[in-house]
A = this chain, B = another copy of it.
């Protein structure tokens, strides 16, 4: 299975992992949600080699998670800001964090707070149709008809 095959895969999870399935992309998105926008901010935060960072930022931009924005004309400088699609990825990061909190929670841990209440959030994924927590009712993965 190569990149092209994955993109044509009818599974929406596979389509995401086609460009997010690597060591850095999700961490870059995490940092973007924290508020980082600039090349050197990402580089210092992650300790990532600049070659790789260039490539990842380019991919995330092509895939519509980030967009470049000129923040200085002289000298010309660009930063990377989240698009609507990138912002809508937050629930995924939050759910990953919730899992990590439960199963990899030893030692000091970053927490996510609601700014207004000042309390740690308790992320839960539910099915809006039934209102049930995901995982409490049996689910079925359905292939598209005619495949």
Residues on A lying within 8 angstroms of B by beta carbon are 1, 5, 8, 10-17, 21-24, 26-27, 30, 33-34, 46-48, 64, 85, 87-105, 107-117, 119-130, 132, 134-135, 137-147
Known: A15-B104, A112-B140, A123-B126; 5 extra A-B contacts, CB below 8 A, are A13-B97, A14-B30, A16-B99, A16-B104, A122-B128
Instruction: Give the oligomeric copy count.
Output: 2
By the criterion CB–CB under 8 Å, are A139 and B114 in contact? Answer: yes
B114 touches A127 (CB 8 A): yes
A142 pairs with B113, CB closer than 8 A: yes
| Contact A135–B90 (Cβ < 8 Å) | yes
- What are the residues of chain B within 8 A of A87 when measuring CB–CB? 135
For A137, give its contact among B26, B89, B116 (CB under 8 Å). Answer: B116
A137 near B114: Cβ-Cβ < 8 Å: yes
User: Given A13-B30, A27-B14, are A121 and B114 also a contact pair (CB < 8 Å)?
Assistant: no
Answer whether A144 and B12 are a contact pair too, CB < 8 Å, given A92-B99, A95-B91, A134-B94. Answer: no
On whether A11 and B110 interact (CB within 8 A), knowing A1-B48, A91-B95, A94-B134, the answer reads yes
Are A110 and B141 in contact (CB-based, < 8 A)? yes
CB <8 Å contact, A100 and B130: no
- Residues of chain B contacted by A115 (CB below 8 angstroms): 137-140
B-side contacts of A120, CB under 8 Å? 129, 142
With a cutoff of 8 Å between Cβ atoms, the chain B residues found around residue A122 in the complex are 127-129
